[in-house]
Amino acid sequence: MEYIDSEKLKELISAGYTWLKNKSKIVDDLNVFPVPDGDTGKNMCSCLKSIIDELSKIKNINEMPVGEVSKIIAISSLMGARGNSGVILSQFFYGFSEGLDSKDKITLKDLAEALNKGSIYAYKGVSSPVEGTILTVMRETAQAALEIQDNAVSISLFFEKILKKAKETLNQTPQMLPILKEAGVVDSGGCGFVFILEGMLRYLKGKSLKQKVLVEKNTPILINTWVKLLNYTRRATTQENNVILQPKNLQQGLRRRLATIAKRSSISSIYLPLNGITRVLSKFNLSNAKNLLSTGDKMVKAWKEKPSERYCLEFVLHNHAGGQDISKEILLTKIEGAGNSAVIASARNFLKVHIHTNDPEKIINTVSVLGKVSDIKIDDMHAQQEEFLSLTEEDDSHGEIGIIVVASGKGWKKIFQSFGASYIIDGRATMNPSVAEILKGIEKVRQHNILLLPNDENVLLSAEQAVSLTTKNVKVIPSKTMPEGLSSLLAFNPEYSLKENKKEMERSLARVTTGKVTKATRQVQYKDLEIEKGDFIGLCGKDIITKGKDYQIVALDLTSKLITEDSKLITIYWGKDVHEIKAKSLYSEIQERFPNVEVQLYQGGQLYYYYLISVE
Amino acid sequence: MQKVAIVTSSGHGLTKALIDEYDIKLFPFPIFIENKSYLDGIDITPDEILKAMYQGKIPKTSAPSPADLINIFKPLIDEGKSIIVILMSAGLSSATLEAARRASEELGGDIEIIDSRQIAGGQEIIALEAARIAKEGKSKSEIVEYVKKIVPRTNSIFGIPDLMYLYHGGRIGRAKALMGSMMKVIPIVAVRDMEGIVSPIGRARNVSQVNEKIVEVIKKDLEKFEANKIKTFIIGHADNEQAALELKEALEKNFDYGDMFILPFGCVATVYPGPKSWGVAYCIE
């Protein structure tokens, strides 16, 4: 006959804690009910950690009967409990411990009964129990334990069976609680409970409790991508002429992410209700957008809707000295009307209370008549929800940065490449790549964090549109010419975050003034310049500054008009239709004309402009 | 008599006048040019190193041996002095630190070894500061405590027209990211934040843009330390006085400071970044 002694009980809880902690981000990611604030995993861990911390203080734990140890478990779990599932879990442990009250060691029968008592206590602690939550998983697990207690030959077989039942129940939670299904998750607290049991079973089987990969937070990216896709779809279906391309990458990005999420939980045989959602995504096209909009909206709403009660209030209520135990029922009637999601965990001399409310102060005032209030904790759940669902700076800043540049001309492409551009989008003659071409570049680059240099005013808009259609984290540096883009690229520091780089690079844009020499394609009167078709014109921005019949003279004249007292460097980039000899002669002339300014000459090879001349 | 001797390595550019004024003891660094070995300050000068570099040679440094260092430390110990050794960043020359440790173990005297996390001007600032308060008669532990306080506040930034020398010297570190370009640019690198190795800052098109960037970085550092004054600037250069003077002007215009020196790089400080490089070390007040 196998027993669980005090030492083993501690090891089991400790294993449950370690395993849950490894998986706590997965649990956080499922946290949509009752309030999507992404902390279920953390809160449940806090409850278990508090137990482990107390048990670790005991020397020679095996000299202490299980009954004594369980008392410590009961109190410490209550003290460490935070959040809805945390307090429910602590109440479960309280009942569980009561069940072991007078035991020296635990038989499987004792264990089954203790689990049952834990489940009963957990239900009792909640003001209005909801099915499809951790409560359901606890109850079904306890039920299974009672049924198999006599047939189990070993503790590990016992755990194997109750874990199986726990997982089956967890997988049914979306059927019981509709919001879970809409959000595409199973219940987070229930999932945490499953991981605790799974950790215990792994310990019994001697399996490792180490997790190889630390899981990243998934929900925020998922929801943000959904929002983009829905916005796009709405825009595309309502404004006929605005359809640029199928948002394939968004669809694919979402499907990939959904597949990743589904896969990582399926390792533990936990199946998220994502089939319907993935099906809608794969069948989606613009002519049949209704399904996508309704599914997506439901999902986004499940995560984004603000809870009606804003604050999560927790406190401990102690009996007045020498006074009687405070009745849980009386307390409940006093506070119930002032909020929801009330959970009350009771111990011998105090109660731990958790409730969601808009008026925490009022509740504290009400209950302070009944006993002494301590350990008050108030969290703003609106803020927590926002933080949970926003892409944090952390998501933005870590990792390598890819640089995408729009460029025209062989020379320019080489220059940008030599300064570390990861991908060059061919701007061709007119510097007007399509949104699709830009998007292709974004998707092709290996990095998730990307800086995009459009290098032309016309490209800026398409660049921003492309950014709105990708799941990657792209920041646009609004460079209007290639020399501006180059100047900003020089300020790039691979060790800065995306945000810091954007700031530094934008600052360098202003350093450069770019002059452009091209041919007029039609006759035009601009200010006091009468320009004929075929004339060469010198531009700065959209401003025509000079004109003439010879592009060399126009270039020289343009340069002299761009130069100021502070200018220190002139760079000439000659274009496709200019011969090197001519470029060199312009170089010498400019050098001669401005002996105090450094002049450099490069082959840009741009197609549209004979010369690009930057002054800085 | 002063009880504590400050020892540091040669080759960063301290002038004889400063060395005498502050009573700093230097130990020479071995330098190799095409397999021929020289001792810095004894049989080779920075100008000769530059000349070799302009001829296409790539000089290298080596580290002093424990025996070399024992020869420096022993007489000081015999005079009854405690020693504080201020060394070039171990991230750039771990062998020197190792040699100093071995020498110290061997001698068993009262020797404190400090990794300056710096090179050139940065190391000099720390050595000068230590020597200054040693002259005031401060005890060894007081000096050590003070030095440990200023090491994190001392940084340096350099404009290095050709990163090849750092690269071949095996000291390019993460500044490798700045190598390779189709245009004439000047990479900007730093030894800062206690890292003790070379890290990238960015690139600029010409000297004045480099100097602008240097000013920006120093401003950021002041903000980070919530300070508004620089204790000491040491500007250094390898055959680029023009850039150094422009930098001096820019620093004067932008900062409140205590001391400012312009010192041509010594042999070691020339070997690493190569000709035409320049830079500044600064200690935040």
Per-residue pLDDT tens over the stretch A556-590: 999 999 999 999 999 999 998 999 999 999 999 99
Q: Are B91 and B118 spatial neighbours (Cβ–Cβ below 8 Å)?
A: no
> pLDDT (tens digit, 9 = 90+) per residue, A590-601?
999 999 999 999
CA distance B217 to chain A (A): 11
Reply yes or no on whether the pLDDT at B23 is more than 50: yes
Per-residue pLDDT tens for A78-88? Answer: 888 899 999 99
Q: Quickly state the pLDDT bin for A233 (edges 50, 70, 90).
A: confident
Dihedral, A54, A58, A64, A70 alpha carbons, nearest 10: 0
Task: Report pLDDT for B170.
Answer: 86
Average pLDDT over residues A20-40: 91
| Window 146-165 of A, Cβ < 8 Å to B | none
Question: Across the A/B interface, how many CB contacts are shorter than 8 Å?
Answer: 49
> Residue A610 above 70 pLDDT?
yes
Nearest by CB: A495 against B174, B184, B204? B174
Whether the pLDDT of residue A502 is over 80: the answer is yes
> In the structure, how many helices (H) and strands (E) does chain B have?
10, 13
Query: CA A161 to CA A151: how far, in whole Å?
Result: 11
Chain A residue closest in CA terms to B182: A415
Two structure tokens written together for A574: 């000659």
Q: Does A510 touch chain B (CB under 8 A)?
A: no
Strands of B14-110 (E only): list them. 24-27, 30-33, 36-39, 60-61, 82-87
Task: Report residue A84: phi and psi, to 5°.
Answer: -55, -60
Nearest CB to A491 within list B177, B180, B202: B202
With cut-offs at 50, 70 and 90, classify the pLDDT of residue A333: confident
Residue B223 reports pLDDT greater than 60 = yes
B202 vs A490, A598, A600: nearest CB: A490
Q: Which residues of A touch B204 (CB under 8 A)?
A: 490
For residue B162, the SS3 value is: coil
Q: Which token pair is A449?
A: 């964090």
- pLDDT at position A204 over 60: yes
Residue A213 pLDDT: 58
Say whether A490 and B205 touch across the interface (CB within 8 A). Answer: yes
Distance CA B1, CA A531 (A): 86
pLDDT tops 80 at residue A227:
yes
Put simply, the answer to whether A504 touches B202 (Cβ < 8 Å) is yes
Closest-approach residue (CA) in chain A for B177: A494
pLDDT at res. A133: 96
Does residue A393 carry a pLDDT above 60? no
pLDDT at position A398 over 60: no
The amino acid sitting at A253 is G
Whether residues B183 and A602 touch (CB distance < 8 A) is answered with yes
Helical residues (DSSP H) of A370-494, grouped into ranges: 381-389, 393-397, 410-418, 435-444, 457-467, 482-490
Cβ atoms of residues A389 and A220 within 8 Å? yes
CB contact under 8 Å between A602 and B182, yes or no, is: yes
Q: DSSP readout, B8-20?
A: EES-S---HHHHH
B200: chain A residues, CB-CB within 8 Å:
493-495
Residue B259: predicted pLDDT:
94
| Helix, coil or strand: residue A410 | helix
- Give the model's confidence band at A242: pLDDT under 50 very low, under 70 low, under 90 confident, else very high: very low
Residue A104 reports pLDDT greater than 90: no
Q: Specify whether the CB–CB gap between B196 and B115 falls below 8 A.
A: yes
- Could you tell me where the DSSP H helices lie in A81-218? 83-99, 108-125, 134-148, 155-176, 178-183, 188-204
Does any CB of chain A come closer than 8 Å to the CB of residue B229?
no
Residues 176-205 of B with CB under 8 A from A: 177, 180-185, 199-205
CB contact under 8 A, B185 and A602: no
What's the ipTM? Answer: 0.86
pLDDT at A95: 93
CB contacts of B199 in chain A (<8 Å) are 495
Contact A494 B203 (CB under 8 A): no
Query: Between chains, do A419 and B203 touch, taking CB under 8 Å as contact?
Result: yes
DSSP bridge pairs for A377: A314
User: Whole-angstrom Cα distance, residue B175 to residue A581?
Assistant: 37
CB contact under 8 A, A571 and B205: yes
* Cα B211 to chain centroid, rounded: 19
Q: Which residues of A532-574 form beta strands (DSSP E)?
A: 536-540, 543-548, 569-574
Environment class of A288 (CB within 10 Å of its CB; exposed 0-12, middle 13-18, buried 19+): exposed
| pLDDT computed for residue A255 by the predictor | 84
B125 pLDDT more than 90: yes
CA distances from B173 to A494, A506, B88, B124 (A): 13, 27, 16, 22
Angle between helices A6-22 and A66-80 (to 10 degrees): 30
* Residue A493 amino acid letter: N
Can you give the pLDDT at residue A247?
65
Question: Under a CB-based contact definition with an 8 Å cutoff, are residues B235 and B261 in contact?
Answer: yes
Q: How confident is the model at residue B1, as a pLDDT?
A: 63
Query: B208–A600: do the CB atoms touch at under 8 Å?
Result: no
In degrees, rounded to 5, the angle at the alpha carbon of residue A30 between the alpha carbons of residues A29 and A34 is 120
pLDDT bin (cut points 50, 70, 90) of residue A241 is very low
**Residues A414-456: tens digit of each pLDDT:** 999 999 899 999 998 888 888 888 988 998 888 888 999 999 9
Confidence of residue A221 (pLDDT cuts 50, 70, 90): confident
**Chain B CB within 8 Å of residue A67 CB:** no
Helices A83-99 and A66-80 cross at an angle (nearest 10°) of 170
- Pick from A237, A191, A207, A180: nearest CA to A33: A180
Predicted confidence (pLDDT) at residue A397 exceeds the cutoff of 50:
no
Neighbours of B85 (CB within 10 A): 28
CB A30 within 8 A of CB A174: no
Indicate which of B183, B184, B186, B208 best probes the interface with A, i.e. most A CBs within 10 Å of its own CB.
B183
Average pLDDT, integer, range B173-192 = 89
Report the pLDDT averaged over residues B94-102. 91
Nearest to A569 by CA among B190, B241, B210: B210
Chain B residues whose CB is inside 8 A of the A572 CB are: none
Helix (H, G, I), strand (E, B) or coil at A85: helix
Cβ distance B205 to A415 less than 8 Å, yes or no, reads: no
pLDDT at residue A244 tops 60:
no
CB atoms within 10 A of CB A407: 28
With 0-12 CB in 10 A as exposed, 13-18 as middle and 19+ as buried, what is A176?
A: middle
What angle, rounded to 10 degrees, do the helices at A248-266 and A219-238 form? 150
pTM: 0.67
* Tokens 């550092």 found at: B221
What six digits make up the tokens of B94? 């771990």
The per-residue pLDDT for range A53-74, each reduced to its tens digit, is 999 999 999 899 999 999 999 9
* Cβ separation B201–A493 shorter than 8 A: yes
User: CA angle at residue B110 from B105 to B113, to 5 degrees?
Assistant: 70
pLDDT above 70 as % of chain A: 95
| CB spacing of B202 vs A600 below 8 angstroms | no
Q: Is the pLDDT of residue B193 over 80?
A: yes
Whole-number pLDDT of residue A216: 67
User: Could you tell me what percent of chain B has a pLDDT over 70?
Assistant: 100
**In the structure, what pLDDT confidence band is assigned to residue A469 with cuts at 50, 70 and 90?**
confident
- Tell me which residue in A415, A504, A569 faces B205 most closely, judged by beta carbons: A569
